Structures are given as C-alpha cells and as structure tokens.
Amino acid sequence: SGQLALCHQDIQRALELEPQHGSAQAMRQRLLRRGQEAKAEAVSKALCGDLRGALLKISFAIESDPSAAEFFTLRGTLLRRLKDFSAAHKDLARARELGAPGGPEAQEARRQLALTYNDCAVHCYTLGRFDEAVMLLGEALRDERREKGLYVNRG
C-alpha cells in the first residue's frame, strides 16, 4: 500500500520535470480513476452499513489520489461514525487544507468537523466527562453556527 503512495510521488515528479510526459499522464489518469472507483465502492459499502469495509476502500482511494479533499472528508466522516474522533479530526482538517478556501469541499469538511466535535462531546457526556463535553460543543458551535442540533445538545 505504501508502494501506491511512492508511485503517486514518482508520477508527480515526472510531470513536474516534463508536464507533457505521455506515459506519466496516462499513469496519473489511471490512478485518479482507481481512486474514484474506490471512493464509489466505499460509498456503496457505507450505505450497506459496512463502515469498516468502506474505510478500507476510501483509504485505498486516498493512496491513489492523496490530493483529493473529498476522499479525506469521506474517510473523516466514516471515522467519526466509528467513534475514532482523533483520526476523524485529522482527516477533516486535511480536507479543509486541500479544498479551495470557501469552496464546497472545504465547507463540507468544516461541517463534518463540527459534527465530529459534537459526537465526541456526546460521547464524553455519556462517560461523565462533562467539562470536556461542554468545551467540545463550544468548538463545534464556533465552527458551524448553522447546525441546529448542536444547540440542542449544548442545552
């Protein structure tokens, strides 16, 4: 799997040296297509309730195209649903970095990040960690003021 990341880096380097390099362009297109196919499989698995299988597929998609913000957003969302809040936060922050400022990918990543704070806060609350829960809900509200459910949980 690390081989795919190295392959992607080699293709990027080849295209930086020679932007019209035919075989490098073809290999890049193949990798991008494989990434999109893996994303589609991840979505399908997630819709069927196989979150772990979806996580494997979207991780493969990220290896195929590590610059796709949408892939990090999907993986972050899956990690949130699996209650791996730290990893979700990391992926969603990466998606925000990769997306155009104010663009749809960055906005969706921001929204999912707020939901991650919220879900983590609810989780902390159920464990009796009330101060941490209130702090996390404050973070969620600071990031996403339009999510009405966040205000309900804060009460």
Q: What are the pLDDT digits (tens) for 24-77?
A: 889 889 989 999 999 999 999 999 999 999 999 999 999 999 999 999 999 999
What gap in Å lies between CA 126 and CA 123, rounded to an integer?
5
Residues 47 and 37: their CA atoms lie apart, in Å, by 15
Pull the structure tokens for residue 48.
């069927």
Q: In the chain, pLDDT over 90 holds for what percent of residues?
A: 57
Give 13's pLDDT tier (boundaries 50, 70, 90).
Answer: confident
120-129 as b/e: b if 16+ CB within 10 A = bbeebbeeee
pTM of the model as a whole: 0.82
Q: Residue 5 pLDDT more than 90?
A: no
**What is the pLDDT, as a whole number, of residue 153?**
52
Residue type, 138: G
In 10 A of CB 87, how many CB atoms?
16
pLDDT in tens, 84-140: 999 999 999 999 999 998 899 999 999 999 999 989 999 989 999 888 888 888 877
In order of their start, the domains of the chain are 1-67 (no CATH), 83-155 (1.25.40)
